[in-house]
């Protein structure tokens, strides 16, 4: 079910210079638009989840297990933007159906195109489905490569209780090493 992926912590793409360096940059600006609502967060966990809510379920349980706050990247453009103010670990689902460039949800690309958000990311936890074979949890590898942080764990759909416990334990260790 779950695959622990201890990936080297060093920069894989050599920079934090821009999330979209490989063509993933979204057309809209990386900063908030004038008049757009900006929500700031000091949460240790930042996540994105689509309407199906699988990652929301996982991230919520993980936050409860850790006793730490979580913050959700808005789903719709009109919902405003999220701005991180402290280091965080990103939890995100994989999309794209095996197609690399589409693996990272556009809302996450937009969030990471903000230089301050990108500078504060410390690790990635990726959701996915093993039905997608080699593309299972690919979004974690893409974000890791583009931001130079480790992909710490993959989980399937909304994860099991074992996944939640393993990630909670791993993150407590990870944070003490930061």
Ligand X SMILES: Cc1cc2nc3c(=O)[nH]c(=O)nc-3n(C[C@H](O)[C@H](O)[C@H](O)COP(=O)(O)O)c2cc1C
Q: At what angle do helices 161-177 and 54-66 cross, to 10 degrees?
A: 60
Counting contacts by CB under 6 A, is residue 157 touching ligand X?
Answer: yes
DSSP per position, 8-56:
-SS-SSS--S-GGGGTT--SS-SSPPTT--EEEE--SEEE---TT-HHH
CB 86 within 8 A of CB 42: yes
Give the three-class secondary structure for 91: strand
Query: 47 pairs with which residues across the strands?
Result: 72, 91
Rounded to a whole number of angstroms, the minimum distance from the CB of residue 28 to ligand X is 20
22 vs 53, which CB is nearer to ligand X? 53
Least Cβ distance, residue 56 to ligand X (angstroms): 6
Nearer of residues 2 and 32 to ligand X, judged by Cβ: 2
80: exposed, middle or buried (Cβ count in 10 Å: 0-12, 13-18, 19+): middle
Residue 142 CB coordination number (10 Å): 27
Contact between 49 and ligand X by CB under 6 A: the answer reads yes
Of residues 136-155, which lie at the interface with ligand X (CB under 6 A)?
136-138
Q: Which of 105, 104, 159 is nearest to 130 (CA)?
A: 159
| Binding of ligand X by 160 (CB under 6 A) | no
> Of 137 and 148, which CB lies nearer to ligand X in the complex structure?
137
Site residues for ligand X, 2-41, by CB under 6 A, read none
Answer yes or no whether residue 128 interacts with ligand X by CB under 6 A. Answer: yes
Q: Are 123 and 173 in contact (CB under 8 A)?
A: no
By Cβ distance, which residue is nearest to ligand X?
Answer: 128
Size of the site for ligand X (CB under 6 A): 23
Residues numbered 54-73 forming contacts with ligand X, rule: CB under 6 A: 54-56
- Rule CB under 6 A: is residue 97 a binding residue for ligand X? yes
List residues binding ligand X (CB under 6 A).
49-50, 52-56, 93-98, 103, 127-129, 132, 135-138, 157
């Amino acid at each position: 079910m779950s695959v622990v992926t201890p990936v080297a912590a060093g920069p894989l793409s050599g920079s934090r210079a821009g999330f979209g360096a490989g063509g993933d940059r979204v057309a809209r600006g990386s900063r908030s638009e004038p008049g757009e609502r900006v929500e700031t967060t000091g949460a240790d966990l930042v996540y994105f989840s689509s309407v199906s809510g699988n990652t929301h379920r996982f991230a919520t349980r993980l936050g409860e297990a850790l006793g730490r706050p979580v913050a959700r990247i808005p789903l719709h453009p009109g919902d405003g933007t999220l701005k991180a103010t402290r280091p965080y670990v990103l939890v995100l689902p994989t999309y794209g159906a095996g197609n690399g460039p589409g693996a990272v949800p556009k809302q996450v690309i937009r969030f990471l195109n903000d230089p301050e958000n990108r500078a504060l990311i410390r690790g990635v936890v990726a959701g996915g489905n093993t039905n997608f074979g080699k593309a299972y949890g690919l979004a974690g590898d893409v974000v890791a490569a583009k931001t130079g942080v480790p992909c710490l764990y993959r989980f399937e759909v909304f994860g099991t209780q074992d996944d939640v416990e393993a990630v909670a334990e791993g993150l407590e260790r990870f944070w003490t090493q930061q």
